[in-house]
Amino acid sequence: MGLFDKLAGWLGLKKKEVNVLCLGLDNSGKTTIINQLKPSNAQTQDIVPTIGFNIEKFKTSSLSFTVFDMSGQGRYRNLWEHYYKEGQAIIFVIDSADKLRMVVAKEELDTLLNHPDVKHRRIPILFFANKMDVREALSSVKVSQLLCLENIKDKPWHICASDALRGEGLQEGVDWLQDQIRTLRT
């Protein structure tokens, strides 16, 4: 770290870096959510299914986030676990209109929570019950029931209903995540 960076850090000009993993099934809206969180001049217009993963950056009032936007397609899901070690927080996105695959989302979440790199860490998890704008979408309460989130006892978690197309609900979630990371650090 250069002298300037150090100085900036002391003065509170330089923000703390946090690595966040963005996980969830394919088509749940991970890329759309992250795109919304980026500054408007960095946003892309057309979002295509992610291949492998992408690294994106965005900032909040006090933190600088580096997000690993993983692909949710079945054949890429085995990549997720290679990044668990680096992740200091997890964003788990659920398509709340996809009732059929809620069991698959639960299965992947359970696999994630039982992974040795995650299991014993107090790593904050933010859930987005996305696509709340879709008519047949389930409520965030229903989603948390189906995923049995109440069983997560040793990690701080939070669920928000969101509409990534219009950016609704995203700020609430990110504010929670920022608070969690700050309390963990101090």
Partner 1 sequence: MSSSADVSGEASKWLDAHYDPVANLYTFTSCVDLADLGGDGENKLVIGDLGDGSCGMKLKVYRGTALVSESTLLDLPTGLVSFLMDLHEPRIPAVAVASGPFIYVYKNLRPYFKFTLPGLEVNALEQDVWRQAREGQIDPLALKELLEGVRDTADVPLSARSLRYLALEREDMQEFVSLHKAQPVRRQTVITCIGTLRKSTADEDGVSCLVIGAESSDVYILDPEAFTILSKLSLPSAPTMMDVTGQFDVEFRITVACRNGNIYILRRESTKPKYCIELSSHPVGLVRVGKNVVVGCAEEQLQGFTQKGKKLWTASLPAPITTMAAMDLPTRGFQAVLVGLANCEVHLYREKNLVSVIKTPDVVTGLRFGRYGREDGALVMTTKGGGLAVKILKRTATFDERDGAPGPPPAQSVRLNVPKKTKLYVDQTLREREHAAAMHRAFQMDLSRVRLAAAKAYVKALEAGLTPVSARPSVPLKMNAVVQGLGPAFKLTLNVQNTAACRPILNLTVSFLYDVGLYSMRTPYFRIPLLVPGPVYPFETLVECTSDKGISDVIKVFVLHDGKTAPLLTAHINMPVSEGLALT
Ligand X SMILES: Nc1nc2c(ncn2[C@@H]2O[C@H](COP(=O)(O)OP(=O)(O)OP(=O)(O)O)[C@@H](O)[C@H]2O)c(=O)[nH]1
Q: Which residues bind ligand X (CB under 6 A)?
A: 24, 26-32, 47, 49-50, 71-73, 93, 130-131, 133-134, 163-165
Question: Could you tell me how many residues make up the chain?
Answer: 186
State in angstroms the smallest separation of the CB of 101 from partner 1. 6
Which part of the chain contacts partner 1 (CB under 8 A), choosing from 8-16, 72-80, 161-169, 174-182?
Answer: 72-80
Q: Is 75 in the site for partner 1 (CB under 8 A)?
A: yes
The tokens describing 31, both together, are 């890329």
Q: Is 27 in the site for Mg ion (CB under 5 A)?
A: no
183 binds, among partner 1, ligand X, Mg ion, none (CB under 5 to 8 A by kind): none
Nearer to ligand X, 75 or 153 (CB): 75
One of 36, 73, 88, 178 is an active-site residue; which one?
Answer: 73
